[in-house]
A and B are shown apart, each in its own frame.
Chain A
Amino acid sequence: MATSPQIKAVKADLTHMGKKVLLVEGPDDWHALSHLINKSTGTFPKYELGYCENDDGVLDVLSGMTEASTKTQAILGAILDADQCKKDDAGNEGIQSRIRSLQGRLGKFYAIPDKFPDDGLILAPTQEVDRGRLPVLGIWLMPDNVRDGIFEDLLRVAMAPESEKYISAVVDRATKDGMTGFRDVERPKAIVKTHIAWRDPNKKNLGEAISAHFDNLIPACQPFLNWLERLFGEVPQP
């Protein structure tokens, strides 16, 4: 059963959510992830998906949860773009800036490494005393925990290669000719949304389009789906 665009994305509310929660940045990501997970497993996830307005919202929920929560989840996953954050005071950008901010917010409770493993991060709280109180934490930095980028960079890999190459060239040309208004970091979004618009101009929902128009979706997302499986103990069916 596929999710439909009528389904409203669920805002993250850790106090009232269940034992296993996956946080995403916004409603778009919520729909896209719902479809991706649904397509890979053929079923709804056994964990709850919640969005948090933006990347700062995810960080806020994570640090609020670790610092303050009395009753918290057993497993908490978070998906963050590696490339949507500002240059930090130490001059870090992209994924390095993202990792530094995670270390700043969560380092007291979780040993966030300087370099993320490419198959995604899964950590128990560092101190024994926090293990009953705090969840096992999973963090995936889009697209692949190594490169700067966003969720749409993962979807670009899921596009047919010739299509991705063609549309990228078109988008770049339009940019060069002054026909576009997006920021550099939004280029992957422009490519992915152009791809969707050309395939099916009526699709408004990124989630639905993901199911329909990304031929290599499951193979391209396999490392990510494996991380979800390891984190939440689900078995995706490719």
Chain B
Amino acid sequence: MIPSLHISGFKLFKDLTIPKLGQLNLFIGANNTGKSCLLEAIGLYAGRNPIADVLQAAGIRAQEVLQPWEADGWNELGTSLRHPVFDLFHRDGATSGSDLSSAILIERIGDPNPLTVKFQWHDMVTDDDGMRRYVPALPGHVTVDHLEFALPVFRGDKQVALITRRHLPLRNRILESERLSNDDAVVVAHLPACGFTDEKAASLWDGLIQGPGQERVLGWLRMLDSRIDDLDYIAGRLRSRIALLKVEGEGRIPLHSMGDGLRRLFHIGLAMATASKGVLLVDEFETGLYWEVQVQLWRAIFEASQKFGIQVFATTHSNDCIQAFVEAQKDRLIPNTSFVYRLERRGENIHAHEFSPQGLEAAIRQGIEVR
């Protein structure tokens, strides 16, 4: 379990410390206070695939990173470089790429192996045997003609991945295999605000075919409709697959015709079933869900997260969701197992404000705006 978190240099976070984290953690905050970034950082820190996580956080698809990067129209180093990876770094950091020391740091407090993502300019050199390769450029010695960048990822002192572009595919692949050396890495299920793609949901469902996973997912769906008996995927048009629910008294009904709430529950159920002994990240938890369902759902998540050893991190915009979380928390208020934080802007920095359960309950009782 991640007991605390310190993030610096990542996206909106110049320097953010969250001193205590529990089994369940809810983050609220205004727009642009970094709720989604926080989930990305946690995924990157906890997960097994730093390359995919970094690329996802940068909003880059795997195939895009391999495309040639044309930094057209720039004359002076760093003035108009707009590759998406620059957005990974806090604005004080490598916005121009000219600051070679800029780095992303994600760690728990007292972490012996913090995760760092550095930004390096690479320069092309030709070996004695005529092979060309890229090596990290020395500050002030960047050759503009052969300029390339790379993002080495470290756990502690050990480099576990190198995110590069097409010029270094081989080296990239070698280092990618070393990522498995991170013993602390766990399964991370990251449910975005818009839900999983149908393709992703289908593959997660397939992955649960062994064992009681699928039945557990059906349990989540039955919170909304107790008549749900089973779920099957059938082949649809254009290689897509369609989820069909078997509903008592109604036969088979496509999941997508049964409303956003059921789809959201399906995805939460899939993510929970996938994330055993791992980390579940849910962005904008409330999407498609009514208040009563949210209380029931949080109660079930409190229970299942304990039972299956899942550490849950969720964000929300919704008062209903906060109230539902607090309501569910009341039933099983064990100190230091669940936390609610509000991310707030304080000048350049984002600050995490911790609510005490009693204070948050009092605020909700008194109708005080907490978001």
Contacts and interface: CB of A to CB of B under 8 A. Distances in A.
Q: Do A and B come from one complex?
A: yes
A61 B359 CA distance: 9
Interface stretch (B175-183, B238-246, B264-272, B360-368): B360-368
B351 A64 contact: no
Contact of B360 (A15, A57, A67, A70): A67
A63 B367 contact: no
A27 to B, nearest CB: 17
Q: What does DSSP make chain B's interface, helix, strand, loop or mixed? A: mixed
Contact of A132 (B346, B358, B366, B367): B346
Given A65-B363, A132-B346, A15 B369 contact: yes
Contacts of A63: 358-359, 362-363
Interface in B330-371: 342, 344, 346, 351, 355-356, 358-360, 362-371
Contacts of B360: 64, 67-68
A57 B366 CA distance: 8
B371 to A, nearest CB: 7
Contacts of A60: 362, 365-366
B342 A66 contact: no
B366 A61 contact: yes
Contacts of A52: 366
A52 B368 CA distance: 13
Contacts of A61: 362, 366, 368
A65 B351 CA distance: 18
A65 B342 CA distance: 14
Interface residues of B, number: 20
A63 B358 CA distance: 8
Contact of A70 (B358, B364, B367, B370): B370
A15 B360 CA distance: 14
Given A63-B358, A108-B356, A129-B351, A70 B363 contact: no
Contacts of A71: 369
A143 B346 CA distance: 40
B365 A64 contact: yes
A15 B368 contact: yes
B356 A69 contact: no
A13 B356 contact: no
Interface string A54-91: 00010111011111111100000000000000000000
B363 A69 contact: yes
A14 interface: yes
B362 A69 contact: no
A57 B351 CA distance: 29
A65 B368 CA distance: 7
A137 to B, nearest CB: 15
Given A14-B368, A15-B367, A70-B370, A64 B342 contact: no
Contacts of B368: 14-15, 61, 64-65, 68-69
Contacts of B358: 63, 67, 105
A52 to B, nearest CB: 8
Interface in A125-173: 129, 132-133
Contacts of A133: 344
Interface string B120-157: 00000000000000000000000000000000000000
A60 to B, nearest CB: 4
Contacts of A69: 363, 368-370
A65 B369 CA distance: 9
A68 B30 CA distance: 14
A99 B371 CA distance: 30
A61 to B, nearest CB: 5
A176 B359 CA distance: 44
A67 B355 contact: yes
Contacts of B364: 64
A129 B345 CA distance: 12
Nearest to A65: B368
Contacts of B351: 129
Contacts of B367: 13, 15
A107 to B, nearest CB: 11
B355 to A, nearest CB: 6
Nearest to B322: A68
A187 B366 CA distance: 31
Contacts of B366: 12, 14, 52, 57, 60-61, 64-65
7 contacts: A15-B369, A61-B362, A63-B359, A65-B368, A67-B358, A67-B360, A105-B358
Given A12-B366, A60-B362, A70-B369, 10 more contacts: A15-B368, A52-B366, A61-B362, A64-B359, A64-B364, A64-B366, A65-B363, A68-B342, A68-B370, A70-B342
Q: Which 10 A-B pairs have the closest CB atoms?
A: A67-B359, A64-B363, A68-B363, A64-B362, A68-B370, A60-B362, A15-B369, A64-B368, A64-B366, A63-B362
Interface of B: 30, 342, 344, 346, 351, 355-356, 358-360, 362-371
